[in-house]
Amino acid sequence: MTANKLKLSILLLFTTFFCYAQDYQVTSPDKKISVTIRNGDEFSYSITFNGKPVIQESALGFEFKAEPAMNKGFAVIDKQEQVINETWKPVVRSKHAEVVNNCSELQIRLKEKNGLMRQMEFTIRAYNDGIAFRTKLYRSEKNGHRQITRELTTFTIPGNPKAWVVEYGRYSSSNESEFFERPLSYFTDKTIAGMPFLMDYGDKCWVAITEAAIDNYPAFYIGTNGKQNALTTKLVPLPGEEEAGVKARFDDEVYTPWRVVMIGETPGKLIESELIQNLNAPCAIADPSWIKPGMSAWDHWWSGEVKMEMPVIKQYIDFASQMGWSYMLVDWQWYGKFNTPEADITKWAPQIDMPEIISYAKSRNVKIIVWLYNSDVNRNSAYKKAFPLYQKWGVAGVKIDFMDRDDQDMVNWYHDIIKCAAENRLMVDFHGAYKPDGIIRTYPNMITREGVMGNEYYKFSNKMSPEHNVKLAFTRMLAGQMDYTPGAFLNVTKEQYKNQTPAVVWNTRAAELSKFVIYESPLTVVCDHPDNILNQPGADFLKIVPTTWDDIHFIDGYPGEYVAIAKRTGSDWFVGVMNNSKEKEITIKLDFISAGEHSINTWADANDANKEPKNLKISTQKVKSGDVIKIKMANNGGWVARITTP
């Protein structure tokens, strides 16, 4: 080979290498998280945290019906970088009165070098508490829909970390199940696991995978592609498309949701994170001043076979008024038979008088929320007539139930409902719902949702262990608001527990109170009957505990063991501690309160709470910043406190 030919060969080799192996790096503001995007043989990414791999090189791209896959052979035709550093105030304060949105962002536009010459735009952000990325896809050369059959995004996990897995086994569900501790090797290509998906890597590294800003796109679940450590993105298929494999259709530009990897040295950093809301657009409601979080009474079958009758409804309104709560939720059957072709959500059942209910509630300083079955809402676009009517009646919000899906069509239905509700000044509480995605920032009337195995399961299931309740704070709650419906005051021991009406719960009264601090729900719906709460130990706490917060501080805990969280509203701090089924003593340090003397009121497990779980020990003492408090919790126990400045 001549010298000139050798030089030409080397030049071609380097040209080929640089053409197919372009690396781009994005680093978090604190420099602890680094993401590398590689445009090489395949389009891929990897993540490190404190210099150690969190996500090893993982695939990106898409497969389509009737067109080739898009995952390689790209040229970068545009690249833009920016630092986002802003502070915004949420309309509904779930964790913070002010939220810092600070990240490094890279946006690259890619075009296929040959073939169909399709383009896509890829955006990635690196925050101090994680990373997020999404893709923008464009129209094809042909008119009509493009059809996604598979998203190729993977999460290649190093080693075999401990994980907390909620496995639904199918795509259509109410997202109500238990999180089990599993090694990553537990996963198979048959697994359909929900999110958030929490992992403990050890050596001060916690990771959770979820998604944010789902719009005109299906939600995703997690499984593997046959490789133990390669978690795959399993998009929910469109109804009737299970065989064809179509997951999403679009005839115009579409953004995928943000794929989110939350990262922190402790699980508490993930609990404190505002990453999910930061990835959503600012508030789209011009005047959101009518959106008022608060506590609600609930005339539901959970607390007994409640009849849809005027005296019963008024009893619950009086209950809400006595407790100082803002709302009373009128549940099913208020419009007669539901989930039937003849159901009419614009008319009330003959035995009740809705105008009188609303007028009576108003006289007691209480507002009404009404329950609706989703098919009754959707049939003949009934909501478009009903929602303006509800606004005229003076209804404050709607609770819509039994969707049990998160495919592209259902996601878009959620958005239609939320927007129509906002136009008519109605808050929304979805039950039988998929996980939150941060839309509460954009539409704060989407104030809470279920998507959790909550208190109602005590009535008909044996799955509601204290371990489950503790794990929820570290797993499902990472996604956002959680209408768990706490407030069960018929507390029994594990040995006494059984499924019955009225429902009983297998935890202490103090543990039940702790849910009001630990769990996040700006609209908190209380499950129990007025007679079980009024004038009972702990009822005084339910009169003072807020549902929105100006600050949050994770104190300590571990999934399935216990959790201790402090939250502040104004100058008052509330602390909630929840135990698993084994009694224990812990200490908490009051290093989060301001200097000076404070008064602390505590509601603790009584000395005999292992046998009499309803019993509380209520006390008051003086404390100052940095003091250490010992907390003794019973089996299935808890502890709550309010810290005030005199």
List the CATH number of the domain containing 573: 3.20.20.70
Of 432, 451, 470, which one is at a domain's C-terminal end?
A: 451
C-alpha 182/C-alpha 186 separation (Å) is: 6
Among residues 278, 299, 314, which one ends one of the domains?
278
Per-residue pLDDT for 226 more than 90?
no
Q: Is the pLDDT of residue 459 over 70?
A: yes
Within this chain, do residues 444 and 543 fall inside the same structural domain, yes or no? no
pLDDT at 301: 82
Q: Is residue 459 assigned to a domain?
A: no
Report residue 454: phi and psi, to 5°: -105, -160
The per-residue pLDDT for 332 is 92
Domain that holds residue 333: 281-451
Q: Is residue 14 part of a domain?
A: no
Q: What does the pLDDT read at residue 141?
A: 85
Q: Give pLDDT tens digits for 232-252.
A: 999 999 998 876 799 999 999
The answer on pLDDT for 228 being more than 80 is: no
Residue 474 in domain? no
What pLDDT shows up at residue 109? Answer: 98
DSSP letter, residue 491? B
Both 265 and 291 in one domain: the answer is no
pLDDT digits (tens, 9 = 90+) for 156-191: 999 999 999 999 989 999 999 999 999 988 888 899
Query: Of 431, 451, 471, at which residue does a domain stop?
Result: 451
DSSP label at 172? S
Q: Is residue 463 part of a domain?
A: no
Residue 540 has pLDDT above 70, yes or no: yes
Shared domain for 440 and 512, answered yes or no, is no
Q: What is the pLDDT of residue 243?
A: 66
Contact criterion met (CB below 8 Å) for 611 and 485:
no
> What does each C-alpha distance from 400 to 29, 367, 374, 417, 430 come to in angstroms?
41, 17, 6, 10, 5
Encoding tokens for residue 432? Answer: 């039988």
Name which of 183, 185, 212 is nearest 196 in CA terms. 212
pLDDT, tens digit, 9 for 90 and up, residues 340-373: 999 999 999 999 999 999 999 999 999 999 999 9
Same domain, 25 and 171: yes
E strand spans, 319-466: 327-330, 367-373, 397-401, 427-430, 446-449
pLDDT band at 303 (very low <50, low <70, confident <90, very high): confident
Domain membership of residue 178 (yes or no) is: yes
The pair of structure tokens assigned to 140 is: 């094809």
Q: Does residue 142 or residue 509 have the better pLDDT?
A: 509
Secondary structure (DSSP) of 295-353:
EEEE--GGGS-----HHHHHHHHHHHHHHT-SEEEE-TTTTSS-SSTT--TTS--TT--
Query: How far are the Cα atoms of 112, 582, 621, 643, 644 from residue 601, in angstroms, in the given order?
Result: 65, 25, 7, 7, 8
Phi, psi of 622 (to 5 degrees): -95, 140
> What's the whole-number mean pLDDT along residues 390-418?
98
pLDDT tens per residue across span 3-19: 444 443 433 344 444 44
DSSP class per residue in 93-162: -SS-SSEEEEEEEEEEEEEESSTT--EEEEEEEEETTEEEEEEEE---SSSS-EEEEEE--EEE-SS--E
Residue 547, pLDDT > 60, answer yes
Please give the pLDDT value at position 646: 79
112 and 134: one domain?
yes
Does the pLDDT of residue 145 top 70, yes or no? yes
Do the Cβ atoms of 167 and 191 come closer than 8 Å?
yes
* 236 and 188 share one domain: yes
Q: How many domains does the chain have?
A: 3
Q: Percent of the chain, pLDDT > 70?
A: 97
Same domain, 503 and 572: yes
- Dihedral of alpha carbons 224, 225, 229, 230, sign: negative
Residue 258 lies in a domain: yes
Compute the mean pLDDT over every residue in the chain, rounded to the nearest whole number.
Answer: 95
What average pLDDT does range 332-341 have in this prediction?
A: 95
Of the candidates 27, 36, 115, 105, the one whose C-alpha atom is nearest the C-alpha of residue 75 is 115
Are 98 and 234 within one domain?
A: yes
Inter-CA distances, 28 with 83, 102, 128, 155, Å: 10, 9, 5, 19
DSSP state, 637?
Answer: -
pLDDT for residue 422 is more than 50:
yes
The pLDDT assigned to 13 comes to: 40
2: in domain: no
pLDDT of residue 294: 98
Query: Are 323 and 245 found together in one domain?
Result: no
Are residues 512 and 501 both part of a single domain? yes
Across 20-24, 394-398, 514-518, least confident range? 20-24
Give the CATH number of the domain where residue 184 resides.
2.70.98.10
Whether residue 377 is contained in a domain is answered as yes
User: Span 108-112, mean pLDDT?
Assistant: 97
What is the average pLDDT across 463-480? 98
Residues 248 and 102 in one domain: yes
- Regarding whether 248 and 152 lie in a shared domain, the answer is yes
Q: What is the DSSP letter of 256?
A: P
Residues 249-274 pLDDT 10s: 999 999 999 999 999 999 999 999 99
